[in-house]
């Protein structure tokens, strides 16, 4: 399904496969190949992550998959990436797929986006949030991280403009925490990647290679979310809903990132009974960090039974 016009006028392609109740998943349906695939594997990321999620759901559901994050990297919205524009985008995709009602699954900041979507439309039939808590979310912490990332992008652009940035270093996805997708999303570093261990990687040494506009769009998003009370909105959520995270999903940033701790598992552990009382199904995946809990082998056994129960 090609050429879906989004809120900013740009066009996005989506893949629609399977039959049954519709589910929107913002993942890249095209597997990564070659050297980049080897790089992803070293970080514990399945190069065919999106493809495997589609394949794991399409026998029962009509899966609408689209690389939203990749689209934003190519077409940044430095001043207009807000919960409302994201909602408009997702509804345009659902409309193009002929899905009047649809479930939604998102991971990390795309889970946060799903929560905002569910609050702005009555078309969401089920909501799955992975890797971001629906209660006591770290909105202030993520604003601090994205502010630091934006500042670093400005400084890096200035150094490159002055001819000082001759060596490329791994970049970081703006709006994502270091190690969140566990991949150097920017240009690869000079040298041999074959022998390094991601567990020993020093994120404080990372120079962001993404542009100021690419980082500013996530700063805009988290600024918009300051003051958002995720406790006050719970009674407005009436669709079946599931949240999950790895038990080790806590990320400590170094000095360059403001010495911030982003705890994504803690709210699910501490408030599990509250979330259950509020109508959420809660799953904490033992021993997994943010990267591990987003892989298909971890995700599908959790979300497939839930979606089957909620939608079929």
Q: What is the mean pLDDT of each run of 10 residues along the chain (312 residues)?
A: 93 97 97 91 92 98 98 97 98 98 98 98 98 98 94 89 56 38 30 46 61 96 97 98 98 86 97 98 97 97 98 94
Q: How many domains, the chain?
A: 2
My answer on whether 203 and 300 are in the same domain is no
Angle between helices 83-96 and 109-120 (to 10 degrees): 80
Q: Name residues whose C-beta falls within 8 Å of residue 136's C-beta, 6 or more positions apart in sequence.
A: 230, 231, 267, 270, 271
Beta bridge partners of 105: 128
My answer on whether 91 and 155 are in the same domain is no
Rg (CA), the chain: 19
Domain boundary among 159, 189, 215: 215
Structural domain boundaries, residue 194:
142-215
Domain assignment of residue 246, yes or no: yes
Domain boundary among 215, 242, 271: 215
- Model pTM? 0.89
| pLDDT of 271 | 97
Residue with tokens 């506009």: 213
My answer on whether 202 and 93 are in the same domain is no
The length of the chain, given as a count of residues: 312
Burial of 70 (0-12, 13-18, 19+ CB in 10 A): middle
| pLDDT of 17 | 98
CB atoms under 10 Å from CB of 258, counted, come to 14
Distance CA 173, CA 185 (A): 6
Distance CA 53, CA 299 (A): 8
My answer on whether 130 and 153 are in the same domain is no
| pLDDT of 205 | 56
| pLDDT of 12 | 98
| pLDDT of 156 | 87
Q: Name residues whose C-beta falls within 8 Å of residue 188's C-beta, 6 or more positions apart in sequence.
A: 35, 39, 168, 170
Tokens of 45: 């990321």
Eight-state DSSP code of residue 32: P
| pLDDT of 265 | 98
| CATH code for the domain in which residue 243 is found | 3.40.50.1820
């Amino acid at each position: 399904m090609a050429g879906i016009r989004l809120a900013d006028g740009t066009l996005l392609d989506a893949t629609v496969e399977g039959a049954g109740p519709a589910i929107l998943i913002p993942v890249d349906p095209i597997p990564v190949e070659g050297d980049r695939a080897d790089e992803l594997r070293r970080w514990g990321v399945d190069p065919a992550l999106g493809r495997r999620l589609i394949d794991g759901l399409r026998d029962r559901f009509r899966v609408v998959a689209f690389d939203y994050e990749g689209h934003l990297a190519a077409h940044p919205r430095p001043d207009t990436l807000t919960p409302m524009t994201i909602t408009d985008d997702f509804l345009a995709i659902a409309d193009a797929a002929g899905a009047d009602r649809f479930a939604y699954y998102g991971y990390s900041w795309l889970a946060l986006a799903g929560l905002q979507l569910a609050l702005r439309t009555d078309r969401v039939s089920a909501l799955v949030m992975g890797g971001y808590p629906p209660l006591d979310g770290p909105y202030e912490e993520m604003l601090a991280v994205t502010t630091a990332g934006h500042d670093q992008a400005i400084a890096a652009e200035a150094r490159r403009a002055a001819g000082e940035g001759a060596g490329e270093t791994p970049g970081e996805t703006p709006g994502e925490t270091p190690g969140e997708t566990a991949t150097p999303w920017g240009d690869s570093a000079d040298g041999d990647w074959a022998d390094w261990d991601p567990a020993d990687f020093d994120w404080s040494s990372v120079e962001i290679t993404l542009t100021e506009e690419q980082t500013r769009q996530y700063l805009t998003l988290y600024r918009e979310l300051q003051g958002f009370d995720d406790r006050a909105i719970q009674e407005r959520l009436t669709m079946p809903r599931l949240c999950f995270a790895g038990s080790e999903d806590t990320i400590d940033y170094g000095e360059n990132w403001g010495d911030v701790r982003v705890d994504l598992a803690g709210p699910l552990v501490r408030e599990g009974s509250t979330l259950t009382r509020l109508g959420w199904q809660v799953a904490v995946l033992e021993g997994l960090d943010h990267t591990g809990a987003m892989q298909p082998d971890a995700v599908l056994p959790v979300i497939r039974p839930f979606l089957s129960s909620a939608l079929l």
